[in-house]
Structure 1
């Protein structure tokens, strides 16, 4: 019980269900750990301690009365600070919205509550979910090494789950924002198919690129979170109507016969040797589990990555038009630059971006007619120091390299699974990705669970 904070969500759920530990005790331990560590980690924007304890007591009473709701019941979680939470400040990493208190929960938050989860608070993030934190906000610090990048924009979720300050988190991903912090903090993250999870009550960055998904310590944990939050939503007409039961239906099956695509050119171009070693190890592990490795040629992603920036900028300018440029002084320099670029774009240029995006999506769809999954880096670098990153939003070449393996799958809307797969020579986690066709979350989860049964990278934690 001394290491309760690093238990996997699903393991804690078993202890709660069998009443070997109470939701009240689990929540109290988490709040104590937040109080002890988060002054230096800065992962939480808001801690809702009193509300969390009330929710934990209610969960404890329900379970004692025989009303167990499932694997999230009584489990302490947290959510990125762009999810509306009724009565709780929800700023989306901005100064402009720091006094905003929603009168309702985001659909995904409401579904966590319906599943009986205990919400510890709101997790810090970059301004407006773009690339840099607002100058007035202290950025979260990587628990493995404070001198290294914790990932963006879901920096708080990455640090909090990685440091044992919650058992899982909800996050969002517009160009890599679930995948990068999952990689940087040694976590498992699912970016579901676009529309698989409702975006109602979630601050927009770029709605056609924004994905809502979980970050957790294992694939099984992430699957439990995704199962709870996914599904159609009348409040969000873009949420997909397909049933979600299939997400968990085949997760315990073997992966023999699954075709895993490997592109020896695209998947290795400008990639650090330490990342390549992790990819090669992952490929060998999947092959040993029965998957068939298939050589493929991934469609050229160069234009799709270049088009991501104007696509995002135009949609972000629309999302912020009520406050920008009218309240420009309240915005940080990087987000201001993006919004200015979006406002300056022409309709003709934007339409060309959309047409190229449609064509790229079709070419990628054709690739997945030949394979079940695609193996790829999470990013091409070994773990990045804060000194190297500097102000990333002002380094377009660095952004383009970083997005080479993430942004294409926001442009297509396909689901991805990020998994820890090794460590750098500096002792920092290195991750890889698997990508599936639309609605292929069950396939990803099935392969990911098999990989994590055969390896223990996801069970390594920072020594805090």
Structure 2
């Protein structure tokens, strides 16, 4: 491997090279910064590059390597942070103009834990306004590195583009209706939406507090597992974080013997593009080859919870933005304005109906998952939508409901999911699949993701030189 190939190594692999002194953290960080300079004027994945801070961190990391000090799991590895997370001293706009001057005095807990593991923060990654559907009109949206005319994913678009293009080794994203899984599918990445509460949301701007999930995005299941193990765990600063202090995750996995994987073929394929169905069928064959037992299941009816996701999120985002909306309404873009207005206009009785339906659905998914280890489904029914197709989706509530039918239900239920590359379209665009597990069963998800990627190489494809 030449020096120029280092930008596409896994985070775990580059951490090993740093520990063995094959790679200098300073040289590595300079190389990635130079790559950002060269490519991101076109890709627009970064909201802010923290050049001087990153180089200072790299120099400190190098001194620790040379002095023989104990090193963290990501020591000297350059990563990047979705601009929804607080980073001490760095403006954190959350994709908005109303927060453009907000400078946190502390790191978000997840960022702090990555720093404690030795990671170098390169900068803040671009996202949609407030982490909802579209970018603020003043923002240039990130560009999919596989093809500029195709969607880069939803709110964690900058995280997806930067990680796929080798502009960082991994990143943090958030997922309220699919915004880790959509950009992973669009950019050929692996990402984990953990169990709700598994990763602290302290220091993360809210979209919908009870729907928001913080998690890692990476180029492999092994890397996503590595990052999840670092950022997960109880946080007294987040009263909703799960009580478990530590998450036990596998280091490697090569088979799936002993696991039962559920598939509701009718639900997973109805309305799906043929290439999505082909990818699902191919994955099912791989899973059985790995020793898993497949079981046909009946997934709960999802249309109500999908249709009500926007109302649920709207009420919560209206609360989250109460200090700035409607006072600064003129500074908001049309999509986020519409969502906030939905929330402000929803009656208490209607909201209670939504919550009751959501609780019933969560119980139904819990019952289903009690009989299987994993559920497999697509990330989305439409393969690699173009910007033109997305424009049509935005105008058609039925198509929009189809888009989120495989993602939003698991935000409402809080179940963990891992998104994985599952193939390519005829035009060379990535396709995403996902595994879903019971609450708290991230170890099973990570095992399945690593075993699947041990048997396949979709995740090894790269969009650029």
Equivalent residues in 2 for 1:39-438, closer than 5 Å: 39-248=41-250, 251-252=252-253, 254-390=255-391, 393-438=394-439
User: How far apart, in 2, do the equivalents of 1:129 and 1:106 lie?
Assistant: 16
Q: 2:19, 2:71 within 8 Å by CA — same for their partners in 1?
A: no
| Deviation by residue 1:320-367 (Cα, 9 ceiling, x = unmatched) | 000001110000011001101100000000001001111000000000
User: How far apart, in 1, do the equivalents of 2:464 and 2:31 lie?
Assistant: 17
Q: Secondary structure at the match of 2:249?
A: helix
Query: Which residue does 1:34 correspond to in 2?
Result: 36
TM-score, with structure 2 as normaliser: 0.98
Q: 1:397 deviation in Å?
A: 2.4
Q: 2:43, 2:142 within 8 Å by CA — same for their partners in 1?
A: yes
Q: 1:131, 1:392 within 8 Å by CA — same for their partners in 2?
A: no
In structure 2, stretches of 5+ residues that fail to align are none
| Deviation by residue 1:11-30 (Cα, 9 ceiling, x = unmatched) | 11111111100111111110
Query: Which residue does 1:24 correspond to in 2?
Result: 26
Deviates more, 1:96-105 or 1:166-175: 96-105
User: How far apart, in 2, do the equivalents of 1:441 and 1:67 lie?
Assistant: 31
User: How far apart, in 2, do the equivalents of 1:69 and 1:202 lie?
Assistant: 27
User: How far apart, in 2, do the equivalents of 1:435 and 1:404 lie?
Assistant: 14
Q: 1:132, 1:392 within 8 Å by CA — same for their partners in 2?
A: no
Number of aligned positions between the proteins? 463
Q: 1:431 deviation in Å?
A: 1.1
User: How far apart, in 1, do the equivalents of 2:357 and 2:49 lie?
Assistant: 43
RMSD of the alignment, in Å? 1.1
TM-score, with structure 1 as normaliser: 0.98
Q: Secondary structure at the match of 1:153?
A: coil
| Deviation by residue 1:303-335 (Cα, 9 ceiling, x = unmatched) | 110111100000000000000011100000110
User: How far apart, in 2, do the equivalents of 1:308 and 1:67 lie?
Assistant: 49
User: How far apart, in 2, do the equivalents of 1:22 and 1:434 lie?
Assistant: 37
Deviates more, 1:75-84 or 1:389-398: 389-398
Q: 1:233 deviation in Å?
A: 0.7
Deviates more, 1:119-128 or 1:396-405: 396-405
User: How far apart, in 2, do the equivalents of 1:42 and 1:174 lie?
Assistant: 23
Q: 1:280 deviation in Å?
A: 0.8
| Deviation by residue 1:422-448 (Cα, 9 ceiling, x = unmatched) | 000111000100000001110010011
User: How far apart, in 1, do the equivalents of 2:211 and 2:357 lie?
Assistant: 15
Q: 2:72, 2:116 within 8 Å by CA — same for their partners in 1?
A: no
Q: 1:252 deviation in Å?
A: 3.1
Q: 1:131, 1:393 within 8 Å by CA — same for their partners in 2?
A: no
| Deviation by residue 1:146-174 (Cα, 9 ceiling, x = unmatched) | 01000011010000001110000001000
Q: 1:230 deviation in Å?
A: 0.6
Q: 2:108, 2:202 within 8 Å by CA — same for their partners in 1?
A: yes
| Deviation by residue 1:92-140 (Cα, 9 ceiling, x = unmatched) | 0001111111111111111111111000000000000000000010000
Q: 1:74, 1:116 within 8 Å by CA — same for their partners in 2?
A: yes
Change (3 A) 1:394 1:321: farther
